[in-house]
Structure formats: C-alpha cells, structure tokens
Amino acid sequence: MGIIILLEPTTVADGSVRDRRIAGPRFIGSNLMSYFEFSRDLYCICHGEIIQGINSAGIALLGGTSADDLIGKPFVDFISPIYAAGFGNFVEAMRDETETLRIKLASPDGKNHDVDLRFHRAREVHPDAVVVSGNDISAHNRAAAKLFELINNLEEQAVHLRAARDAAEIADFAKSEFLAAMSHELRTPLNAILGFSETITTEIFGPVGHEKYGEYATSIHNSGARLLGVINDILDISRIETGQFELIEEQVELSNIISSAMTLVEERVANNQITLTTDIENPSLQILVDARRTKQVLVNLLSNANKFTPKGGNVSLKTTIVADGSLELTVRDDGIGMDADGVKLALATFGQVDSSLARKYEGTGLGLPLSRSMIEMQDGTLEIVSAIGAGTAVTVSFPPERIVG
C-alpha cells in the first residue's frame, strides 16, 4: 500500500493558517494517489472522516467527476443512511490493525453500491490518519441474489414435484386397488355365466330344443371367456403395480409348458391358416419357473403372432441354450411387423400399435407389458426385434440359474 504522508494545517510567519495539503503537500498527496491509479478498487486517504485524497476508481464509485468534488467532504456523506449512523463510532473505535466493513455506498447520482471496505489506522503518520480501500461487490451480490432466487425457485419446484409425485402415487395405488376390487366383482357373475352357458352348450340336462339356442349359448360362453381373460389381465396388472402379485415357482419340464401353450392356440392358428412350427433344442430340459405364468406368457406371444400375421403366414417357437448358459425362447412371425416407436408403444400398458392393419384386431394392449413383467419377476428378460413388413421376433431369456436339469 506504500507510505502515507499527511500533513496538518500549520501557522506561517505572517500568522495566517495555511493548509499545506493545498500547497506543497498536495503535490505529495497527488503522487500518492497516482500510485493507486492502476487499481480498480477504491483507495482513499482520510483525516478522521474527511477525505484528503482519492483515486480514479474511488471517484467513479462515489459519483464524482474529479478528486476536487470529493476532497474535503466527510466520507460518511457517501454511505447509505442505514449504515451512516454508526460509522463515526466505528472509525473512532477502530483498533490499530485493519478492520473490514461491508456497507452500502450511496453516490449523488442515486446509485447504490455494495462495497467491502477495509480501514487501516495509519498512526505512524498521524493519530487520525485512516486509509480506506474497497471493492465494489454489487455485481457479485446481484449474481448471488439471482442464484439464491434460482435455488429457492428450484426448491419450491422440487416441493411441488414431490407433492405431485406423492399425489400421483396415491392416485395410482387407488386406481390399482379399484381395478383389483372391480375385477373380483366382475369375475363372480362371469363364472356363473360361463358355467351355465357351457351346461347349455353341452346339453348336460337334455336337449335345449332349437339349434339356435345352442349357438347362442356357445357365443355367450366364448364372449364370457374372452371377457374373463381381459379381467384376469387387468387384475394381474393391478397386482403387479401394488406389489401383490405372487409367483408359485417349481421345477418343471420345459416341453410340458410349450405343449400346453401350443394346445391353447392351435385352433386359432388353424382358423387363420397359419403354419405353426416348434424347434425345441432339449425337450427334457428342467427349469425353475412359475409354470402357469410362463405358459400364459407363451400363449400371449403366440396369440399376438397369430393375430398380426396374414393368412398363409408362418409362426415358429424355438428354444436355444446360448453361450452364457441362459435359455432363450423365441416366437417369430412373418406378419406386419412394427417400427421402433411401435415396439415402445406395444410394451406400454394398454398400448396399441397405430397401424391400419393392427386396428382390424381386438385387444386391450395388456399382453406384452404383462408378459414382460411376469418374465422379469422370474429374473428373465423380454426383448422385441421387429420391422414393418418383415415380421416380429420376441425373445424371452431365463438366466443359467433358472436351468436346473
């Protein structure tokens, strides 16, 4: 900071009082302020509270046009009133070492500046000599204020998002509970409808008379069975979402699961004039799975392949033990296929692939997402490879630890 030289006003020979700061000493003070001209911070020399010298950065900060605008004025005049009241006491109470004060300066042009001021008592020069240096932190404070405002806004948004998430979870749970309850309520009368319609169709208690009654009873039974399948899928989805879905795992022969699934789709495949083939690498392979749910998955995949393959097409089911020891079951068709967006949609709950041919077929859009959930609960994966016009291949993989013999 250099050496500060302040000279007191003195009495000259003719008895008049001359302020030596204006005569020769002013030259010395001017040189001293020139030393600080290179600084972007305020540097000011005060005698008590009165400004004796100031650099260009200080002149600009205090709103002056030259040093003469400021020299001789109390420094406190440029301090915001809220801070000015105790400023004098602060200077008087200063210890010998440097003191730092963060205050707001108010320049005559009406602009306020947040400033970190450092005061150093230069007692080696004069008991009241004070060196003031400071840097404008207004831009820093504005940036910090904006940052804090942004943080507060983000925190408020986070609170709202958490509240929205909680509300969505509550609503989703309530929906799942409602679906589960309604599914149970619907299954009870449907079971009666299916049972009585089957009794009529098979004429257990004797002929029903007109043959149309038998046709109607068959239609009632088939429609009820399809509706029951939809309800069961919805019930399974709701159980999975609420964590109430349970697996009954057992060691079972893979070929038995495949045979049961094929039996359930054979009639539909034949009606659609589809060629259905199987290629089982190891028919006696034993796996640890929920047999009923795994069969349900295969029925879903084969039914979809049949549904979206034109008459005369081909559907195949192939099993393979791959290099890492895992088991792959692939259902492949040469049907309409779908693009990448269609695959994502097909795996979404209630998703329907948006194509003119797909719209010709009925379905709830639950089969694939439900199948994937069931496979994942058994440590497996379900992947789809498809292209429009080139068919679809759905591969179910079970890890090596699921193969037990």
Last residue of a domain, one of 97, 116, 136: 136
Q: pLDDT, tens digit, for every residue of 246-272?
A: 888 999 999 999 999 999 899 889 988
Q: Which of 115, 136, 157 is the last residue of a domain?
A: 136
Domain-ending residue, one of 241, 265, 290? 241
pTM score, whole prediction: 0.53
**Angle at the Cα of 100 (from 95 to 104), degrees rounded to 5?**
130
pLDDT of residue 363: 59
Q: CA-CA distances (angstroms) from residue 354 to 341, 345, 359, 360?
A: 10, 9, 7, 11
Q: What is the CATH number of the domain that holds 154?
A: 1.10.287
Q: 269 and 237 in one domain?
A: no
pLDDT at 294: 93
**Structure confidence at residue 355 (pLDDT):** 45
The verdict on 371 and 266 lying in the same domain is yes
- Please report the pLDDT score of residue 326 as a whole number: 93
In this prediction, residue 16 carries a pLDDT of: 41
State how far the alpha carbon of 305 is from the alpha carbons of 15, 167, 356, in Å: 118, 39, 17
Examine the domain organization and report whether 122 and 148 are in the same domain. no
Q: Given this model, what pLDDT does residue 25 score?
A: 33
Angle formed at CA 261 by CA 258 and CA 266, multiple of 5 degrees:
115
Q: Same domain, yes or no, for 87 and 211?
A: no
Is 3 contained in some domain?
no
Give DSSP secondary structure letters for 135-150: EE-HHHHHHHHHHHHH
Our count of domains for the chain comes to 3
Q: Which residues of the chain have pLDDT under 70?
A: 1-34, 85-98, 108-109, 124-126, 180, 183, 242, 349-365
| Average pLDDT, rounded, for the chain | 80
Angle between helices 254-271 and 291-307 (to 10 degrees): 30
Contact (CB, 8 A) for 393 and 331: yes
Do both 269 and 393 map to the same domain? yes
Domain-located, residue 368: yes
Range of the domain at 383: 250-402
Give the domain CATH number at 357. Answer: 3.30.565.10
